Amino acid sequence: MSTVWLIASGKGGVGKSTLAAGLGVSLGREGQRVCVVDADLGLRNADMLLGLSDRVVYDLMDVAKSGCAPEQALIAVPGEEQVFLLPASQFARAKDLDPKDFRHVIRGLRESFDQILIDCPAGTERGLRGAMACEPDRALVVATPDDVSLRDAEQLCGLIRKKALPGPQLLVNRLRPELIRTGEMISAAAAAAALDCPLLGEIPEDPLVYRALLRHLRVTDVDCAATRAFARIAQRMCGGEVPLPDYGRRPEGLLRRLFRRAPKEVRILDH
Ligand SMILES: Nc1ncnc2c1ncn2[C@@H]1O[C@H](COP(=O)(O)OP(=O)(O)O)[C@@H](O)[C@H]1O
Ligand SMILES: [Mg+2]
Protein backbone atom coordinates (compact mmCIF):
# COMPACT_ATOMS: atom_id res chain seq x y z
CA MET A 1 0.00 0.00 0.00
CA SER A 2 1.47 3.32 -1.03
CA THR A 3 0.84 6.71 0.54
CA VAL A 4 0.87 9.89 -1.55
CA TRP A 5 1.68 13.05 0.41
CA LEU A 6 1.10 16.55 -0.95
CA ILE A 7 3.67 18.98 0.47
CA ALA A 8 2.13 22.40 -0.04
CA SER A 9 2.22 25.92 1.36
CA GLY A 10 0.30 29.13 0.89
CA LYS A 11 3.42 31.30 0.99
CA GLY A 12 6.57 30.50 -0.97
CA GLY A 13 10.02 30.02 0.56
CA VAL A 14 8.80 28.33 3.75
CA GLY A 15 10.82 25.13 3.18
CA LYS A 16 8.62 22.76 1.13
CA SER A 17 11.43 21.54 -1.13
CA THR A 18 13.89 21.29 1.78
CA LEU A 19 11.31 19.20 3.63
CA ALA A 20 10.46 17.05 0.59
CA ALA A 21 14.16 16.22 0.16
CA GLY A 22 14.85 15.79 3.90
CA LEU A 23 11.75 13.71 4.57
CA GLY A 24 12.30 11.65 1.41
CA VAL A 25 15.77 10.58 2.54
CA SER A 26 14.63 10.09 6.15
CA LEU A 27 11.75 7.84 5.02
CA GLY A 28 14.24 5.84 2.93
CA ARG A 29 16.33 5.36 6.06
CA GLU A 30 13.18 3.99 7.75
CA GLY A 31 13.21 1.22 5.13
CA GLN A 32 10.56 2.78 2.88
CA ARG A 33 10.82 2.89 -0.89
CA VAL A 34 10.36 6.56 -1.66
CA CYS A 35 9.74 8.74 -4.70
CA VAL A 36 10.02 12.52 -4.41
CA VAL A 37 8.06 14.12 -7.25
CA ASP A 38 9.00 17.69 -8.08
CA ALA A 39 5.70 19.20 -9.23
CA ASP A 40 6.96 22.79 -9.19
CA LEU A 41 7.04 23.10 -12.99
CA GLY A 42 9.46 25.73 -14.27
CA LEU A 43 11.00 26.22 -10.82
CA ARG A 44 12.48 22.80 -10.18
CA ASN A 45 14.91 22.54 -7.31
CA ALA A 46 14.34 19.21 -5.55
CA ASP A 47 17.10 17.87 -7.87
CA MET A 48 19.58 20.34 -6.39
CA LEU A 49 18.52 19.63 -2.82
CA LEU A 50 19.02 15.90 -3.41
CA GLY A 51 22.41 16.47 -5.10
CA LEU A 52 21.13 15.31 -8.50
CA SER A 53 21.16 18.46 -10.63
CA ASP A 54 23.68 17.08 -13.13
CA ARG A 55 21.79 13.80 -13.56
CA VAL A 56 18.47 15.01 -14.94
CA VAL A 57 17.79 13.62 -18.43
CA TYR A 58 14.02 13.09 -18.62
CA ASP A 59 11.44 14.74 -16.41
CA LEU A 60 7.83 14.70 -15.28
CA MET A 61 6.60 16.28 -18.52
CA ASP A 62 8.35 13.60 -20.60
CA VAL A 63 6.60 10.90 -18.56
CA ALA A 64 3.22 12.67 -18.58
CA LYS A 65 3.10 13.67 -22.24
CA SER A 66 5.71 11.94 -24.37
CA GLY A 67 5.32 8.33 -23.37
CA CYS A 68 8.69 8.19 -21.61
CA ALA A 69 8.70 5.27 -19.13
CA PRO A 70 8.89 6.47 -15.50
CA GLU A 71 11.96 4.27 -14.94
CA GLN A 72 13.81 6.32 -17.57
CA ALA A 73 13.12 9.57 -15.76
CA LEU A 74 13.54 8.41 -12.16
CA ILE A 75 16.93 9.24 -10.64
CA ALA A 76 18.31 7.21 -7.73
CA VAL A 77 19.73 9.23 -4.84
CA PRO A 78 23.33 8.02 -4.36
CA GLY A 79 23.94 6.29 -1.05
CA GLU A 80 20.19 6.14 -0.31
CA GLU A 81 19.22 2.86 -1.95
CA GLN A 82 15.49 3.27 -1.71
CA VAL A 83 15.06 6.95 -2.62
CA PHE A 84 14.30 8.28 -6.10
CA LEU A 85 13.43 11.62 -7.66
CA LEU A 86 11.08 12.35 -10.54
CA PRO A 87 12.32 15.82 -11.53
CA ALA A 88 10.18 18.69 -12.80
CA SER A 89 10.70 20.22 -16.18
CA GLN A 90 12.62 23.48 -16.03
CA PHE A 91 10.83 24.95 -19.03
CA ALA A 92 7.18 23.83 -18.70
CA ARG A 93 4.47 25.88 -17.00
CA ALA A 94 1.60 24.69 -14.82
CA LYS A 95 -0.82 25.06 -17.74
CA ASP A 96 1.24 22.60 -19.81
CA LEU A 97 0.46 19.65 -17.54
CA ASP A 98 -3.05 18.22 -17.74
CA PRO A 99 -4.13 17.21 -14.20
CA LYS A 100 -5.43 13.92 -15.64
CA ASP A 101 -1.96 13.11 -17.01
CA PHE A 102 -0.41 13.94 -13.63
CA ARG A 103 -2.91 11.67 -11.88
CA HIS A 104 -2.02 8.89 -14.30
CA VAL A 105 1.73 9.29 -13.58
CA ILE A 106 1.19 9.16 -9.81
CA ARG A 107 -1.11 6.13 -10.10
CA GLY A 108 1.69 4.37 -11.98
CA LEU A 109 4.26 5.26 -9.30
CA ARG A 110 2.02 3.79 -6.59
CA GLU A 111 2.86 0.34 -7.92
CA SER A 112 6.58 0.73 -7.20
CA PHE A 113 6.81 2.95 -4.10
CA ASP A 114 5.67 2.93 -0.46
CA GLN A 115 5.80 6.69 -0.05
CA ILE A 116 5.35 9.34 -2.75
CA LEU A 117 6.09 12.94 -1.75
CA ILE A 118 4.78 15.66 -4.07
CA ASP A 119 6.77 18.90 -3.77
CA CYS A 120 4.05 21.37 -4.83
CA PRO A 121 4.27 24.88 -6.21
CA ALA A 122 3.48 27.58 -3.62
CA GLY A 123 0.10 29.27 -3.45
CA THR A 124 -3.43 28.17 -4.16
CA GLU A 125 -3.52 28.75 -7.91
CA ARG A 126 -3.40 26.58 -11.00
CA GLY A 127 -0.13 24.77 -10.23
CA LEU A 128 -1.34 23.55 -6.85
CA ARG A 129 -4.81 22.71 -8.15
CA GLY A 130 -3.21 20.52 -10.84
CA ALA A 131 -1.06 18.75 -8.23
CA MET A 132 -4.15 18.20 -6.06
CA ALA A 133 -5.64 16.07 -8.83
CA CYS A 134 -3.25 13.21 -8.01
CA GLU A 135 -5.59 11.63 -5.43
CA PRO A 136 -3.31 12.26 -2.43
CA ASP A 137 -3.78 10.26 0.76
CA ARG A 138 -2.42 13.04 2.97
CA ALA A 139 -2.01 16.80 2.57
CA LEU A 140 0.81 18.46 4.47
CA VAL A 141 0.70 22.23 4.90
CA VAL A 142 4.10 23.80 5.57
CA ALA A 143 4.22 27.16 7.34
CA THR A 144 6.72 29.30 9.19
CA PRO A 145 5.69 30.73 12.57
CA ASP A 146 4.74 34.24 11.46
CA ASP A 147 1.41 35.89 10.69
CA VAL A 148 2.06 36.24 6.95
CA SER A 149 2.77 32.56 6.43
CA LEU A 150 0.02 31.46 8.83
CA ARG A 151 -2.62 33.56 7.12
CA ASP A 152 -1.68 31.99 3.77
CA ALA A 153 -1.67 28.54 5.41
CA GLU A 154 -5.22 29.19 6.62
CA GLN A 155 -6.33 29.91 3.04
CA LEU A 156 -4.67 26.73 1.86
CA CYS A 157 -6.29 24.62 4.62
CA GLY A 158 -9.64 26.07 3.53
CA LEU A 159 -8.98 25.07 -0.09
CA ILE A 160 -7.92 21.55 0.91
CA ARG A 161 -11.12 21.11 2.93
CA LYS A 162 -13.25 22.58 0.12
CA LYS A 163 -11.75 20.14 -2.39
CA ALA A 164 -12.62 17.30 0.02
CA LEU A 165 -9.00 16.15 0.08
CA PRO A 166 -7.78 14.32 3.21
CA GLY A 167 -7.71 16.73 6.17
CA PRO A 168 -4.57 18.89 6.20
CA GLN A 169 -1.77 18.28 8.70
CA LEU A 170 0.65 21.02 9.67
CA LEU A 171 4.45 21.15 9.56
CA VAL A 172 5.88 24.27 11.21
CA ASN A 173 9.38 25.09 9.97
CA ARG A 174 12.08 27.54 11.13
CA LEU A 175 11.07 27.69 14.79
CA ARG A 176 13.31 29.72 17.09
CA PRO A 177 12.96 28.38 20.67
CA GLU A 178 14.55 31.50 22.18
CA LEU A 179 11.95 33.75 20.48
CA ILE A 180 9.11 31.46 21.56
CA ARG A 181 10.34 31.70 25.16
CA THR A 182 10.33 35.50 25.04
CA GLY A 183 6.82 35.43 23.55
CA GLU A 184 7.87 37.03 20.25
CA MET A 185 7.27 33.91 18.15
CA ILE A 186 4.22 31.66 18.19
CA SER A 187 4.90 28.00 19.12
CA ALA A 188 4.06 25.19 16.70
CA ALA A 189 1.30 23.95 19.01
CA ALA A 190 -0.28 27.41 19.15
CA ALA A 191 -0.02 27.76 15.35
CA ALA A 192 -1.76 24.41 14.91
CA ALA A 193 -4.51 25.44 17.33
CA ALA A 194 -4.98 28.76 15.49
CA LEU A 195 -5.36 26.93 12.17
CA ASP A 196 -7.42 24.14 13.71
CA CYS A 197 -5.08 21.71 11.96
CA PRO A 198 -3.34 18.71 13.57
CA LEU A 199 0.40 19.19 14.00
CA LEU A 200 2.52 16.53 12.30
CA GLY A 201 5.89 18.03 13.04
CA GLU A 202 8.05 21.00 13.95
CA ILE A 203 11.48 21.85 12.62
CA PRO A 204 13.81 24.41 14.20
CA GLU A 205 15.57 27.17 12.30
CA ASP A 206 19.00 25.71 11.76
CA PRO A 207 21.90 27.56 10.09
CA LEU A 208 23.30 24.21 8.92
CA VAL A 209 20.34 23.79 6.55
CA TYR A 210 21.46 26.79 4.55
CA ARG A 211 25.15 25.99 4.92
CA ALA A 212 24.49 22.51 3.51
CA LEU A 213 22.80 24.17 0.52
CA LEU A 214 25.74 26.54 0.00
CA ARG A 215 28.15 23.62 0.07
CA HIS A 216 26.02 21.52 -2.33
CA LEU A 217 25.36 18.93 0.37
CA ARG A 218 22.08 17.20 1.04
CA VAL A 219 20.57 18.46 4.29
CA THR A 220 20.43 14.84 5.48
CA ASP A 221 24.22 14.56 5.04
CA VAL A 222 24.82 16.87 7.99
CA ASP A 223 24.02 16.05 11.59
CA CYS A 224 21.94 18.91 12.89
CA ALA A 225 18.76 19.67 14.80
CA ALA A 226 16.73 20.04 11.59
CA THR A 227 17.88 16.65 10.27
CA ARG A 228 16.95 15.03 13.56
CA ALA A 229 13.52 16.69 13.30
CA PHE A 230 13.10 15.23 9.77
CA ALA A 231 13.94 11.75 11.09
CA ARG A 232 11.31 12.06 13.83
CA ILE A 233 8.67 13.30 11.38
CA ALA A 234 9.48 10.43 8.99
CA GLN A 235 8.92 7.95 11.83
CA ARG A 236 5.57 9.60 12.53
CA MET A 237 4.69 9.40 8.81
CA CYS A 238 5.25 5.64 9.05
CA GLY A 239 2.84 5.40 11.96
CA GLY A 240 5.40 5.58 14.77
CA GLU A 241 4.41 7.30 18.01
CA VAL A 242 7.17 9.87 18.39
CA PRO A 243 6.47 12.72 20.80
CA LEU A 244 6.58 16.27 19.44
CA PRO A 245 9.57 18.26 20.70
CA ASP A 246 7.49 21.41 21.37
CA TYR A 247 10.41 23.79 20.75
CA GLY A 248 10.55 26.72 23.10
CA ARG A 249 7.93 25.36 25.47
CA ARG A 250 10.06 22.94 27.45
CA PRO A 251 11.49 24.54 30.61
CA GLU A 252 15.21 25.27 30.23
CA GLY A 253 17.78 23.77 32.60
CA LEU A 254 18.99 26.04 35.42
CA LEU A 255 22.47 26.58 33.91
CA ARG A 256 21.07 27.58 30.53
CA ARG A 257 18.62 29.93 32.19
CA LEU A 258 21.37 31.56 34.28
CA PHE A 259 23.66 32.13 31.31
CA ARG A 260 21.03 32.94 28.70
CA ARG A 261 21.65 36.33 27.11
CA ALA A 262 18.78 38.79 27.42
CA PRO A 263 16.99 39.24 24.08
CA LYS A 264 18.25 42.23 22.13
CA GLU A 265 15.79 45.08 22.14
CA VAL A 266 14.28 45.74 18.72
CA ARG A 267 15.32 49.29 17.90
CA ILE A 268 12.64 51.15 16.01
CA LEU A 269 14.03 53.70 13.57
CA ASP A 270 12.85 57.32 13.69
CA HIS A 271 12.00 58.81 10.35
N1 LIG B 1 14.75 24.76 9.12
C2 LIG B 1 15.43 25.61 8.37
N3 LIG B 1 16.47 26.32 8.90
C4 LIG B 1 17.17 27.20 8.15
N5 LIG B 1 16.92 27.45 6.86
C6 LIG B 1 15.90 26.78 6.25
C7 LIG B 1 15.12 25.84 6.98
N8 LIG B 1 14.20 25.33 6.13
C9 LIG B 1 14.39 25.93 4.92
N10 LIG B 1 15.42 26.81 5.00
C11 LIG B 1 15.93 27.67 3.91
O12 LIG B 1 14.81 28.40 3.41
C13 LIG B 1 14.97 28.64 2.02
C14 LIG B 1 13.70 28.26 1.28
O15 LIG B 1 13.53 26.86 1.36
P16 LIG B 1 12.80 26.03 0.20
O17 LIG B 1 12.80 24.60 0.64
O18 LIG B 1 13.39 26.33 -1.12
O19 LIG B 1 11.32 26.64 0.28
P20 LIG B 1 10.07 26.42 -0.71
O21 LIG B 1 10.26 25.14 -1.44
O22 LIG B 1 8.88 26.41 0.20
O23 LIG B 1 10.05 27.61 -1.62
C24 LIG B 1 16.20 27.87 1.57
O25 LIG B 1 17.29 28.77 1.48
C26 LIG B 1 16.43 26.88 2.72
O27 LIG B 1 17.81 26.56 2.87
MG1 LIG C 1 10.33 24.75 -3.57
For residue 43 and ligand 1, the question of a CB distance below 6 A is answered with: no
Q: Is 250's pLDDT higher than 80? A: no
Q: Is there a domain that residue 189 lies in?
A: yes
Question: Is there a domain that residue 254 lies in?
Answer: yes
Ligand nearest to the CA of 46: 2
| Ligand 1 atom 12 nearest Cα | 15
Task: Tell me, yes or no, whether 246 lies in a domain.
Answer: yes
What are 12-42's pLDDT values in tens digits?
999 999 999 999 999 999 999 999 999 998 8
Domain span at residue 171? 3-259
> How close is the Cα of 100 to the center of ligand 1, in Å?
30
Q: Tell me how far the alpha carbon of residue 13 lies from the centroid of ligand 1, in angstroms.
A: 6
Return the higher-pLDDT residue of 237 and 259. 237
Q: Which atom of ligand 1 is nearest to the CA of 219?
A: 27
For residue 132, tell me if it sits in a domain. yes
Q: pLDDT, tens digit, for every residue of 161-185?
A: 999 899 999 999 999 999 999 999 9
CATH code for the domain of 200: 3.40.50.300
Model pTM? 0.94
268 domain-assigned: no
* 261 pLDDT higher than 90: no
Say if residue 264's pLDDT is above 90. no
pLDDT band at 67 (very low <50, low <70, confident <90, very high): confident
Residue 66 resides in a domain? yes
Report yes or no on 265 lying in a domain: no
In a domain, 30, yes or no: yes
The number of distinct structural domains making up the chain is: 1
Nearest Cα to Cα of residue 175 among 193, 213, 149: 149
